[in-house]
Amino acid sequence: MSVARRFLLLQLAVVALVTVTVSLVLFAQERSAVQERAEAVTRAVATALADDPYVLEAAGTPDPHPALQPLTDRLLEDTGLDFVTIMAPDGTRWTHPWPSSVGDPYRGDRSHALAGEVWTSTERGNLGPSVRTIAPVRDQDGTVVALVATGVLLEALSQQALAQLPAVLLVGLLLLAASATVAALAARYLGRVTHGWGPEELAQVHALHDAVLNEATEGLLLVDTAGTVPVLNARARELLGIPPEAPGPGRRTALPLGSLGLPLALEAVLRSGAAVQEQWVVAGERTLIVSSLPARGALAGRGMVVILRDHTEISRLSGQLRATSALAGALRAQTHEHANRMHTVVSLLELGHQEEALDFASADRQRTRGLSEDLLARLDDPFLAALLVGKTAAAHERGVELEVVVGPDVPRLPVSPADLVSLVGNLVDNAVEAAAANAARVRPVVEVEITGAPDDADPARDTAVITVADTGMGVPDELAHRVFDLGVSTKPAGPEGRGVGLHLVREVVERWGARIELGNDGGAVFTVTIPAPRDAVPEQVP
């Protein structure tokens, strides 16, 4: 049975119970009101007769019956009372609705009246149970000379209460109809929002919903139009650095966007309410790919569904691949250059020029060894030194002169060799390409300068500054503000695509908490400033 049907039946049962209860209460109140009115009437008539001089005068005669009976008969007709009895102090009736009962003793309590008190009670008499009031009649000396009793039968009271029953039932039926209509409308709405499912099905769907959300490898969250996040799975919390949700009844509380501590760029995307396709955002040490789509179905128009994918590992692997490719290219260039030199040495030997062959080989060995030893001596990073040696040979093959300047006291960088090789390798590759493309105009030169200096903002750390300058055409002003975006490049796209290298460089820089600046000085000049604590230890290759 669906939740809506169960809700409707439960509501109808409650409404019926409440209606019956209210009807009984109203009937009881009406019966009580009728009895209170009867008590008031009997008391008023009894008191009035007891104070009437005519009754006092008739009570002093030898036979009060002929004078008092017509009076009581008229009162019965005018007041709706069931009996009016006037009697002697000993209880002998002088009047009664039944003539045969005149002269018989009064059946009821006379003690309160004989004591001078007006008394109202419910007692049984000749006519049946009744609500009655008995009052004393006093002479001028205060002596009780007669008693007056007036009453209304309980049967008459019940008939009066039953006469009000149709009105009470009508009120109950109206209450039942109104409540049933409200319950039916509520059940219809509940059936629509629950799709007619029962509690077991809803529990199963809820369990499946939790399993899908929490086991998803992508971050999923729902941002509503009020700027709060009612749905946030475990992966999204992990990617955004949000503490895990606490178990318990309050675990579905919507979180305000401002309380999540999100990066400004990501928070701006989530607050915009606009559809976004694979926008890259840096959140802490992670690079996230954000996609945002309007919610559909039952949630249509109520917010945006946001999907978060972690691109950090992909970027690191891509950087390592590019670094490895760069080193492999440098090794191929060195191998090619070494093969040319070996061919020269072999040809000189074959031609009998042993001395020239020996001098040529010694000079080449000395030059190559000197470059490697010089870089290793000045740089405290063997990976960076090896990269620059290989890049020098690769640039030489393309007719570009690569100059490496290493300043004193360059700090050891607390970063992984893969990231460092990716950053420097991409900047040098772009510079070599730019210089080679402009070789017809100026001598192609690429200069790599690595220096160190104290950090003015924090005396407890130093900074390393890596500058890569080329003699190319530079970066056009219209591209300068977005040259680090994915897919943006000053060169025509090839089959492998363009605009990836500088984007990876920016990712690496943002992960380090460093900064990169672009300038034009006879060519493009990229300057990377990296903070390095004085006790920093570089990361190891993963």
Q: Which helix (H) or strand (E) holds 524?
A: strand 524-533
Q: How far is it, in rounded angstroms, from Cα 126 to Cα 92?
A: 14
Predicted local confidence at residue 30, as pLDDT = 67
Predicted local confidence at residue 148, as pLDDT = 92
66 SS3 class: helix
The answer to whether the beta carbons of residues 490 and 476 sit under 8 Å apart is yes
Q: How far is it, in rounded angstroms, from Cα 517 to Cα 453?
A: 17
Beta strands in 302-436 (DSSP E): 303-310, 401-406
Predicted local confidence at residue 225, as pLDDT = 78
Predicted local confidence at residue 525, as pLDDT = 93
- What are the CA-CA distances from residue 493 to residues 35, 266, 428, 499 (Å)? 102, 29, 19, 8
534 SS3 class: coil
- 3-state SS of the chain: helix, strand, coil percent to 5? 50, 20, 30
Predicted local confidence at residue 79, as pLDDT = 79
Q: How far is it, in rounded angstroms, from Cα 481 to Cα 518?
A: 9
- What are the CA-CA distances from residue 105 to residues 91, 93, 268, 275, 494 (Å)? 5, 6, 100, 101, 129
Q: Which helix (H) or strand (E) holds 215?
A: helix 199-215
Per-residue pLDDT of the chain (542 residues; tens, 9 = 90+): 566 667 667 777 777 777 777 777 766 766 776 677 778 888 888 898 888 889 888 888 888 988 899 988 888 888 778 888 999 998 899 998 888 888 889 888 888 888 888 988 887 776 777 788 999 998 888 888 899 999 887 675 566 556 666 776 777 777 777 777 877 777 777 666 666 666 666 565 555 566 566 656 678 788 887 778 877 777 777 778 777 765 444 445 677 877 777 777 778 877 877 788 877 777 766 778 888 888 766 555 667 888 888 776 665 666 566 656 655 665 666 666 666 767 777 777 777 777 777 766 666 554 554 455 556 556 767 777 777 877 887 788 788 998 888 887 778 777 777 778 878 888 998 899 999 998 888 999 999 998 887 777 777 678 889 999 999 988 888 777 777 776 555 554 444 444 467 877 887 888 788 888 998 888 999 999 888 876 554 454 44
DSSP state of 535: T
